[in-house]
Structure 1
């Protein structure tokens, strides 16, 4: 029997997988053509043709078109051409958090409440969560009491937790339910999210196990669910961080994972489509932090001055580091005056040490995010990166030794450059590996350790080591 707690995407029927799907490149080309057509029709004012085109698109593609248009008026025009209030709600649920307030700005709260009737509760909570609080409360009061309470409950969970991204529309049955009754309930479960598993609960609503749909079909109709349950179920709690949820779903190739409240009570599930959004969101955040940019900049919706405010602190870090490097050069000015050829290799030392540090820190941060690197792996990871730094340092150091000898005619200068790059690589690999792991241990986001911080630190370290060795060896490299 297949363990329903480990039913994976690979267990989907072969016939479904055999459908001919367009390639990623083909999809992009198709979207580019659609976007170009929309812009041309908007420019010509061909509303009838535009309406026909827009309403043949998937809601996600309509949302993508809206995001790529140039003016708020164009975006609003496209949104209003979507036929059907339910279809408009689906489009809104596909928009980014920066775009939703713009699109709904001119909509009456009653229209929005009606629009969101066909949208799953977790998506409604997401939409209302990005609207101004007063406007969100006004919309909630206009929704049905049952629906609004469900949304309020979801919005009560801290952002970024399992509770905030779960859906409460799932199929859970008492464990005494028979197989035949379960199938009947399954046929009637029109509001439930895509049903991958049937969850069984006890009288108090606590999760007791899960059963696969396949198992349900091969047992006797009178067999109770409790006779076929797999009780060792992977689950998360409502306060589990969404990154940890994504890690579990990815590690075990799950299509859905149950969410438990206090006492093991089943309150929701998180499906793989929500996990994809989480992974994309978290990866974007980490990449932007590593680059010293803000999350809002990724959507290109911030003003120029807002972007300046986000990036300036990180650039200021680089500025201070560059001034420190300049001060080091001034400190060793007499050595440079003695052997001007030293200047030739300063950019090489600074650039290569910073790049190696960035490579190491990026790999460690990615490993921490995906769960492939744990805090218990500290020394193993450090020694691995040290070995890599040693081998790379020997290779690059040897090349620079030969270069210095041939180019400047000084074997000792080549030796200084080669030794400097070797030492710098060892320090860079160590610092770039240890820093993210220590930050993680201190519950600080390790993404802040990369980018400007690592590169600036290694620029200073590399130049100091190089000029320090050159000063010691100045008598031999004149």
Structure 2
């Protein structure tokens, strides 16, 4: 079969932009059809599964905190103040890894044969970012709460949790899209919500575990 006509550079660019836009929508737990022209109830059905998945994960985290680390939190309520910083840093690093891998798989610049290399590269970068963010966050936490009796323990907990969260989510953010791609699933569909949920669970659990071990 012959193709009749001319394919311009502009046509190619538009196709690339459309594919990139579709991947970004999927990673956010949405789809390209979810636009302002789509009926509200249809958009609701498109988004609901991912919202419920994330909600279920976050409620599980709440149970973990209340049942396992409730005593630690009751003794040192100040720990809760720095939870958003830890989960935000880990989530951002994980989503950066996921975005890079999904884009690379789609464009063919990353292949399954590079699995271990990709994991090592992303883990190393995630740990480096974690150390940098952890030092900054721990310093700010200790500066703000300098009158708190266990200020050094607070700084250690924030630092170690930040490093652990960014390292783990960068690894998961790299593993998940490659595994899904290998299994012939579209990695852009589930990666965003899953990485966010994993980061919140892991980062929060490690944070309170470290605080508990330090006898807050």
Verify the 8 A CA contact 1:404 1:411 in the aligned structure 2.
Answer: no
Q: Which has the larger radius of gyration?
A: 1
Q: 2:157 aligns with which of 402, 416, 434?
A: 416
2:104 aligned residue = 367
Q: 1:377 aligns with which of 114, 131, 144?
A: 114
1:463 aligned residue = 204
2:51 aligned residue = 315
* Structure 1 spans left out of the alignment, 5+ residues: 1-165, 170-192, 195-254, 256-270
Alpha-carbon separation, structure 2, partners of 1:168 and 1:369: 24
Q: 1:400 aligns with which of 123, 137, 151?
A: 137
Alpha-carbon separation, structure 2, partners of 1:454 and 1:292: 12
1:351 aligned residue = 88
Q: Secondary structure at the match of 2:33?
A: helix
Q: CA deviation at 1:280?
A: 3.2
Q: CA deviation at 1:406?
A: 2.1
Q: Considering only aligned residues, what root-mean-square deviation do their CA atoms show, in Å?
A: 1.8
Alpha-carbon separation, structure 1, partners of 2:128 and 2:99: 19
Structure 2 residue 55 is the aligned partner of structure 1 residue 335: no
Aligned pairs, number: 211
User: Given the two structures, how large is their TM-score scaled by the length of structure 2?
Assistant: 0.90
1:210 aligned residue = none
Classify 1:273/1:343 alpha carbon distance in 2 versus 1 (closer, same or farther; 3 Å): closer
Alpha-carbon separation, structure 2, partners of 1:388 and 1:375: 20
User: Given the two structures, how large is their TM-score scaled by the length of structure 1?
Assistant: 0.42
Alpha-carbon separation, structure 1, partners of 2:42 and 2:124: 43
* Structure 2 spans left out of the alignment, 5+ residues: none
Structure 2 residue 33 is the aligned partner of structure 1 residue 292: no
Moved over 6 A (4+): none
Higher relative contact order at CA 8 Å, sep ≥6: structure 1 or structure 2? 2
Q: Secondary structure at the match of 1:392?
A: helix
Q: 1:324 aligns with which of 60, 66, 72?
A: 60
More helix by share: 2
Verify the 8 A CA contact 1:390 1:425 in the aligned structure 2.
Answer: yes
Q: CA deviation at 1:312?
A: 0.6
Alpha-carbon separation, structure 1, partners of 2:73 and 2:160: 18
Q: CA deviation at 1:408?
A: 2.0
Alpha-carbon separation, structure 2, partners of 1:285 and 1:167: 29
Q: Secondary structure at the match of 2:38?
A: coil
